[in-house]
Amino acid sequence: MPAISIQSISKTYATSRGDFHALRDVSLDIAEGEFFGLLGPNGAGKTTLISILAGLTKPSAGRITVMGHDVQGDFAAARKQLGVVPQELVFDPFFNVRETLRLQSGYFGVKHNDAWIDELLENLGLADKATANMRQLSGGMKRRVLVAQALVHKPPIIVLDEPTAGVDVELRQTLWHFIAQLNKQGHTVLLTTHYLEEAEALCNRIAMLKQGQVVALDATSNLLKTASANVLQFKTDHALPAELAPVARVTGRVVQLPAQGPHDIERFLATLRQAQVVMEDMEIRRADLEDVFLQVMKGAA
């Protein structure tokens, strides 16, 4: 039985400009113990899918089961299996951190949970904030509490919707260390993120969404194999020759040229030399998940 089974999910919103298809016939299964990444540009439908998974939004068609429980028909049982870390920071400002976590335990009917709450506070670097009022916390600290809140009932499946958006390096490392440890202990993890190097390092399998559709679904290692082998990267103030401009990715002064092999690199360098383009900080690097992502998104256009 898959931990999460997403079966032909569609979601249509009625807007003033007619129907908007946020999700179109999305199907995928996530096995128990997987660390699964859901990637896609802004507006691709990631949060909508997570919101349907969490039983907060009704799909227009299709169904999702969590450990066999239908999230619509069997909401309470399905929700108990899930620890959802939402994107938005919403809290009751009148409680302190420990009270917030005790309340959440109560919501799931878990009593005498202080030992686990202490462990969560410790692992998320919140031990010294246990009695701090929620409104006294910084944004990053609040995000840590959101994570603790999602894990308070020890759910077998952990769902993280952009948990590292706008958080500092230290929290990212603490968070990933803790989540990876929970994954090793058997928890299934579903993650959405715009940090592709995080997804590459953590996820064993990845789905890419574009405009509500799955445009790639494979093991991370297989996705990396489909990318161009290498990338020629350099900085320049010069315009690129017309032959290279269409294949180049340009960010400010940085130019990246995806190459299938040494022959491509040789050709790029010869063309650049002929056009007298002055290059700085030139390097040839292996293609990474960001290169795959951009290639997939371009291909699916």
Ligand X SMILES: Nc1ncnc2c1ncn2[C@@H]1O[C@H](COP(=O)(O)OP(=O)(O)OP(=O)(O)O)[C@@H](O)[C@H]1O
The footprint of ligand X (CB under 6 A) covers 13, 15, 20, 22, 40, 42-48
**Closest separation in Å from C-beta 274 to ligand X:** 41
Amino acid letter at 223?
L
Two structure tokens written together for 53: 């998974």
What 3-state DSSP class applies to 84? Answer: strand
Q: Which tokens sit at 173? A: 């490392």
CA separation for the pair 50, 48 (Å, rounded): 5
User: Can you tell me the distance from the alpha carbon of 204 to that of 200, in angstroms, rounded to the nearest whole number?
Assistant: 8
> Which one, of 212, 165, 160, lies nearest residue 48 by Cα?
212
Residue closer to ligand X by CB (options 1, 90) is 90
Residue 189 CA, chain-centre distance (Å), reads: 10
Contact 8, 26 (CB under 8 A): yes
Cβ proximity to ligand X, 41 vs 262, nearer residue: 41
In the complex with ligand X, the residue whose CB is nearer, 101 or 199, is 199
User: Please, what is the minimum distance in Å from the beta carbon of residue 89 to ligand X?
Assistant: 14
**Within a 13 Å sphere around the CA of 238, how many CA atoms are in the beta-carbon half?**
14
Cβ partners under 8 Å of residue 290, min gap 6: 196, 197
**129 or 198: CB nearest ligand X:** 198
Cβ-in-10-Å burial (0-12, 13-18, 19+) of 155 comes to buried
Cβ 43 to ligand X, closest distance in Å?
A: 4
Closest CB to ligand X among residues 16, 276: 16
We find the least distance from the C-beta atom of residue 3 to ligand X, in angstroms, to be 21
Least Å from the CB of residue 15 to ligand X: 5
Percentages helix, strand, coil for the chain (3-state, rounded to 5) are 35, 30, 35
Least Å distance between CB 23 and ligand X? Answer: 8
* 242 or 301: CB nearest ligand X: 301
205 vs 210 by CB, closer to ligand X = 210
Smallest gap from residue 212 Cβ to ligand X (A) = 7
* Cβ partners under 8 Å of residue 173, min gap 6: none
Give, for 299, the enclosing helix (H) or strand (E).
helix 289-299
- What's the closest the beta carbon of residue 47 comes to ligand X, in angstroms? 3
Nearer to ligand X, 40 or 83 (CB): 40
